[in-house]
Amino acid sequence: MTKVVCPGSFDPVTNGHVDIFRRAAHLFDEVVVTVLINESKKGLFSIEQRMDLLREAVADLDNVSVDSFRGLLVDYCRDHDVQAIVKGLRAVSDFDYELQMAQMNGSLTGIETVFIPTGPEFAYLASSLVKEVAKHGGDVTDLVPPHVLKALQEAYSRT
């Protein structure tokens, strides 16, 4: 049985992320979407909120679960019997960074990284851009799942 992890901050989860999760779920037996806990970064949503938003986004995918981790991803992989890391790529600029990470992770533990190119309709999509547009009242309806849109609207109505 092949178990993989899709790591990220997911602040918030976008339709591009969900596309990668769906495609990974089709390729692998078990997919764990993991939220990095980074105390030095303040996100729009708490770790718990992000995990809840992710759980709802993948609720229809039987072989996808949500977890969180702190520290090194390769340690999480070792401790949870994960065979590979799955990363979505939007552009060549993503590849440069992700290749370095994949090589470092591979050299530390031998764990492989699998790259899935994003669908063209999501190539420009990033959580930071979604937050910026939503913050200024722009329409992000087609960029995030409906429950995430509601959470964004609630978050920015308080600011």
Q: State yes or no: is 41 an active-site residue.
A: yes
Residue 99's H or E segment, with its range, is helix 92-109
From the list 110, 157, 103, 113, the residue with the least C-alpha distance to 135 is 157
Closest C-alpha among 92, 118, 146 to residue 22: 118
Does 10 count as an annotated binding residue? yes
Tell me which of 41, 42, 136, 158 is the catalytic residue: 41
Question: Is there a binding annotation on residue 128?
Answer: yes
Q: Is 89 flagged in the annotation as binding?
A: yes
Name the packing angle between helices 15-27 and 47-57 (round to 10°): 60
The one catalytic residue in 3, 23, 55, 90 is 90
Query: Annotation-wise, does 42 bind a ligand?
Result: no
For the question of residue 17 being annotated catalytic, the response is yes
- Look up 157 and say whether it is catalytic: no
Q: At what angle do helices 127-135 and 146-157 cross, to 10 degrees?
A: 50
Is 9 known to sit in a ligand binding site? yes
Residue of 48, 43, 95 lying closest to 68 (CA atoms): 48
Q: Is 26 a catalytic residue?
A: no
Q: Is 80 annotated as a binding residue?
A: no
**Residue stretches of the annotated binding site for ATP:** 9-10, 17, 88-90, 98, 122-128
Instruction: List active site positions.
Output: 17, 41, 90, 127
Residues annotated in the binding site, as ranges?
9-10, 17, 41, 73, 87-90, 98, 122-128
Annotation: binding site for substrate: 9, 41, 73, 87
